[in-house]
Amino acid sequence: MNSLAVPMTDDVLTEEAGERSVPATLDAFLAQVERRAFRMAELQLGHREDAFDAVQDAMLRLVRHYRDKPAGEWSPLFWGILRRRVVDLQRRRKVRSIVVGWLGGGRDGDGDELPTWEPADPGPGPLDRLHDAQSWRDMADAVRKLPLRQREAFMLRVLEGLDVADTARAMGCSEGSVKTHLSRAMHHLRDQLEEWR
Amino acid sequence: MTSPDDRIEQRAHALYRQASQQLDPAMAGRLRAARREALQPAPSSHRAARLLLPAGAFAAVALAALMVWQPHRGTTAPARAVPALIAGTGQDDSDLPPDADSADPTLYQNLDFYGWLAANDSSAPERR
């Protein structure tokens, strides 16, 4: 049984307090979000290298196309870019699975369907160093089971802590849609994370 | 008192923050390097591409001009050759007929005479 309370460490609290102020430079902003962006991409893609590629690409695109935007807009822009990059990678992976299926790799010798192809992950366990690794894994499993839009709303609004307006901008939808997706996501998570209640 | 949803949200948020802080050093280093690379000024290849674009356009225009000019050269060369051909009909036994546009029309009217003249012109010095 996992521990229910996850105390916020001093580092985490200090970090969050620092983030409330708008960063002065793009370097400072990216330094703030890069690790969280990696965790968010990893949570959705389930693969460290793909997650790193997505974050790297999102950083590049933000710098190239939006470096002249006001600092207050960087956050929704960055998370929006990362969201689209993750979706692209998921689609590419799906296409790859279909191609493998066409080439006859989708069925075993008995004609039974094989599980969807996933790239091998050679890196260390994603959260070997995390004290509450099992809780994180439980949450990751539950979040991955959510439909795409509900998952995005939950991650941006609850995990990343964006406000409704910024979440809507990052998701490219209305604020009402964000609230609907989030409400449905919480409904699903209540069922799946019963131990947390 | 907090609702079940609030507890889930708080716990999920805290786990996410901790997981991000406790990222393994190797991946943290790679992310730092990726950030520095992203913040580098535009690489020289972009500048080179900016220079290559007008240069390529100029080369294309030059090639097009050359292709347009080439047929004129092809037509003007024979035109210049025709008068020489006509002028040399007396000495050179050419297979090509004179150009009808540039030749004197009386040449065609008195073609039999000129034929006779040409045949007898070579024998004239022998008579002397």
Q: What is the pLDDT of residues A7-32, one digit of tens each?
A: 555 555 556 655 667 788 999 999 99
pLDDT band at B46 (very low <50, low <70, confident <90, very high): low
pLDDT reading at A139 higher than 80: yes
What average pLDDT does the segment B90-95 reach? Answer: 54
pLDDT reading at B128 higher than 50: no
Task: Calculate what percentage of chain B has a pLDDT beyond 90.
Answer: 16
Question: Which of the 8 DSSP states describes residue B93?
Answer: -
Q: Do A135 and B11 touch (CB under 8 A)?
A: yes
Nearest by CB to residue A35, choosing from B7, B8, B28, is: B28
Per-residue pLDDT at B122 = 62
pLDDT reading at A130 higher than 70: no
Q: Do B11 and A35 touch (CB under 8 A)?
A: no
Q: What is the pLDDT of residues A115-125, one digit of tens each?
A: 555 555 555 55
Q: What is the DSSP string of B19-60?
A: HHHT--HHHHHHHHHHHHHHHSPPPHHHHHHHHHHHHHHHHH
More confident residue, A115 or A136: A136
Per-residue pLDDT at A107 = 58
CB-CB contact of A184 with A149 (8 Å): no
- The pair phi, psi for residue A121, each rounded to 5°, is -110, 105
Residues in contact with A38: Cβ distance below 8 Å, sequence separation at least 6, in sequence order: A51, A52, A55, B20, B23, B27, B31
Other CB atoms closer than 10 Å to residue B10's CB: what's the count? 16
Q: Do A35 and B31 touch (CB under 8 A)?
A: yes
* Of B10, B34, A127, nearest in space to B2 by CA: B10
Per-residue pLDDT at A175 = 94
**Chain A residue with the nearest C-alpha to that of B30:** A52
pLDDT reading at B115 higher than 60: yes
CB-CB contact of A21 with A32 (8 Å): no
More confident residue, A129 or A135: A135
Phi-psi bin for B16: left (phi > 0), alpha (psi -120 to 50), beta? alpha
* Of A30, A20, A33, A37, nearest in space to A63 by CA: A30
Give domain limits for chain A. 10-196
The mean predicted confidence, pLDDT, of chain B is 74
ipTM for the predicted complex comes to 0.75
Q: What is the pLDDT of residues A37-74, one digit of tens each?
A: 999 999 998 889 999 999 999 999 999 999 889 988 99
**Alpha helices, DSSP H, located in chain A:** 10-19, 26-45, 48-66, 71-100, 133-144, 148-154, 164-171, 175-192
Q: What is the pLDDT of residues B56-92, one digit of tens each?
A: 888 999 888 888 877 655 555 554 545 544 554 555 5
Question: Which of the 8 DSSP states describes residue B116?
Answer: H
Distance CA A79, CA A38 (A): 11
Task: Calculate what percentage of chain B has a pLDDT beyond 70.
Answer: 59
Per-residue pLDDT at B3 = 77
Q: Residue A80 is encoded by which pair of tokens?
A: 């929006």
Q: Do A39 and B20 touch (CB under 8 A)?
A: yes
Q: Top-level CATH class of A10-196?
A: mainly alpha
**Chain A residue with the nearest C-alpha to that of B19:** A130
Buried b (16+ CB within 10 A) or exposed e, A112-135: eeeeeeeeebebeebbeebebbeb
CB-CB contact of A13 with B22 (8 Å): no
Q: Do B14 and A186 touch (CB under 8 A)?
A: no
pLDDT band at A153 (very low <50, low <70, confident <90, very high): very high
Per-residue pLDDT at A167 = 94
- For residue A129, the SS3 value is coil
What average pLDDT does the segment A138-167 reach? Answer: 93
B contact test, residue of A82, A132, A151, A160 with most B CBs within 10 A: A132
pLDDT reading at A171 higher than 90: yes
pLDDT reading at B38 higher than 50: yes
What average pLDDT does the segment B48-60 reach? Answer: 80
Per-residue pLDDT at B53 = 80
The mean predicted confidence, pLDDT, of chain A is 81
Distance CA A187, CA B75 (A): 84
Distance CA A105, CA A97 (A): 9
Residues in contact with A145: Cβ distance below 8 Å, sequence separation at least 6, in sequence order: A188, A192
Per-residue pLDDT at A4 = 42
